[in-house]
Structure 1
Amino acid sequence: MEIIIRSVILSFLMAVGCNLFFETLLPKRTFRFKWLRHTAIPAFTAGFLLISFTPIPPFILQPVRFVLVVMLVTLLYFRTGIVQCVIFSLLLCSIYWITSAFLLSAAYLFPSLWEQSRASAAEYITESIFICLIFIFHHRFKNHSDSWHTLSRTFASFFPLLSIIVILSISMMNTSKAITESRARFAAVCSFAVINVCYFYFISKTLGKEEEMQRLRLLHEQTRNQMALYRDMHKSYDLQRRQLHDYKNQLGCIQGMLESGQISNALSYISNLTGTLSKSVSLISTGHDVVNIILNRKYQEAFEKGITMPLSINGLSELTMGEEDIVILLGNLLDNAIAACEKLEADRIIQFKMTFENGQLILSVRNPVKEPVIIKENKVITGRRGASRHGIGLLNVDSVIKKHGGTSVIKCDNGWFYFSAIIP
Structure 2
Amino acid sequence: MMEIFIKCVILSFLMAASCNLFFETLLPKRTFPFRWLRHMSLPTFMVGFLLIAFTPIPPFIFQPVRFVLTVMLTALLYFEAGLVRHMAFSLLLCSIYWITSVFLTSLIYLLPPLLHESLFSAVEDIAGSIFLCLIFIFHLRFKNHSDKWLSFSWTFTSFFPLLNIIVLLSLSMMDISGNATENRAMFAVVSGFAVINVCYFYFISKTMDKEEEMQRLRLFHERTQNQMVLYRDMQKSYDLQRRQLHDYKNQLGCIQGMLKDGQVQNALSYVSTLTGTLSKSVCLINTGHEVVNIMLSRKYQEAAEKGITITLSVNDLSTLTISEEEIVILLGNLLDNAIAACEKLDFGRIIQFKMILESNQLILSVRNPVKEPVLIKENKVVTDRRRGPLHGIGLLNVDSVIQRHGGTSVLKYNNGWFYFSAIIP
For the criterion TM > 0.5, the same-fold answer is yes
Residue in 2 aligned with 1:4? 5
Residue in 2 aligned with 1:233? 234
Q: CA deviation at 1:72?
A: 1.9
Task: Name which of 359, 367, 370 aligns with 2:369.
Answer: 367
What is the CA–CA distance in structure 1 between the aligned matches of 2:87 and 2:56, rounded to whole Å? 24
Q: 1:181 to 1:357 in 2, by over 3 A?
A: farther
What is the CA–CA distance in structure 2 between the aligned matches of 1:113 and 1:225, rounded to whole Å? 73
What is the CA–CA distance in structure 1 between the aligned matches of 2:358 and 2:85, rounded to whole Å? 39
Give yes or no for contact 2:348–2:369 (8 Å, CA) kept in 1: no
Give yes or no for contact 1:108–1:177 (8 Å, CA) kept in 2: no
Percent identical across equivalent pairs? 67
Kindly provide the CA deviation profile for residues 338-364 of structure 1, in whole angstroms up to 9, marking residues without a partner as x: 233334554433333344688562412
What is the CA–CA distance in structure 2 between the aligned matches of 1:145 and 1:98, rounded to whole Å? 24
Give yes or no for contact 2:102–2:190 (8 Å, CA) kept in 1: yes
Matching of residues 191-210 of structure 1 within 5 Å: 191-210=192-211
Residue in 1 aligned with 2:422? 422
Q: 1:164 to 1:54 in 2, by over 3 A?
A: same
Matching of residues 225-264 of structure 1 within 5 Å: 225-264=226-265
TM-score after normalising by structure 2: 0.89
Q: Which runs of 5+ in 1 are unaligned?
A: none
Q: CA deviation at 1:187?
A: 1.6
Q: CA deviation at 1:140?
A: 2.5
Q: CA deviation at 1:43?
A: 2.1
Q: 1:234 to 1:360 in 2, by over 3 A?
A: closer
Letter in 2 for 1:419: Y
Q: CA deviation at 1:165?
A: 0.9
Letter in 1 for 2:69: L
2:411 matches 1:409: yes
Q: CA deviation at 1:99?
A: 0.5
Matching of residues 47-66 of structure 1 within 5 Å: 47-66=48-67
Give yes or no for contact 1:257–1:266 (8 Å, CA) kept in 2: yes
Query: What SS does structure 2 have at the residue aligned with 1:361?
Result: strand
What is the CA–CA distance in structure 2 between the aligned matches of 1:59 and 1:405, rounded to whole Å? 54
Letter in 1 for 2:13: F
Q: 1:54 to 1:399 in 2, by over 3 A?
A: farther
What is the CA–CA distance in structure 2 between the aligned matches of 1:334 and 1:246, rounded to whole Å? 32
Give yes or no for contact 2:342–2:368 (8 Å, CA) kept in 1: no
2:133 matches 1:136: no
TM-score after normalising by structure 1: 0.90
Matching of residues 17-416 of structure 1 within 5 Å: 17-112=18-113, 114-317=115-318, 319-355=320-356, 361-369=363-371, 372=372, 375=375, 377=377, 378-385=380-387, 389-403=390-404, 404-411=406-413, 413=415, 416=416
May I ask how many residue pairs the two structures share in their alignment?
419
What is the CA–CA distance in structure 2 between the aligned matches of 1:383 and 1:197, rounded to whole Å? 29
Letter in 1 for 2:170: S
What is the CA–CA distance in structure 1 between the aligned matches of 2:166 and 2:208, rounded to whole Å? 26
Give yes or no for contact 2:342–2:370 (8 Å, CA) kept in 1: yes
Give yes or no for contact 2:287–2:317 (8 Å, CA) kept in 1: yes
What is the CA–CA distance in structure 2 between the aligned matches of 1:401 and 1:241, rounded to whole Å? 36
RMSD value over aligned CA atoms? Answer: 2.5
What is the CA–CA distance in structure 2 between the aligned matches of 1:337 and 1:285, rounded to whole Å? 22
Give yes or no for contact 1:407–1:421 (8 Å, CA) kept in 2: yes
Give yes or no for contact 1:349–1:368 (8 Å, CA) kept in 2: no
Q: 1:105 to 1:376 in 2, by over 3 A?
A: farther
What is the CA–CA distance in structure 2 between the aligned matches of 1:395 and 1:373, rounded to whole Å? 19
What is the CA–CA distance in structure 2 between the aligned matches of 1:221 and 1:270, rounded to whole Å? 44
Q: 1:283 to 1:148 in 2, by over 3 A?
A: same
Letter in 1 for 2:418: Y
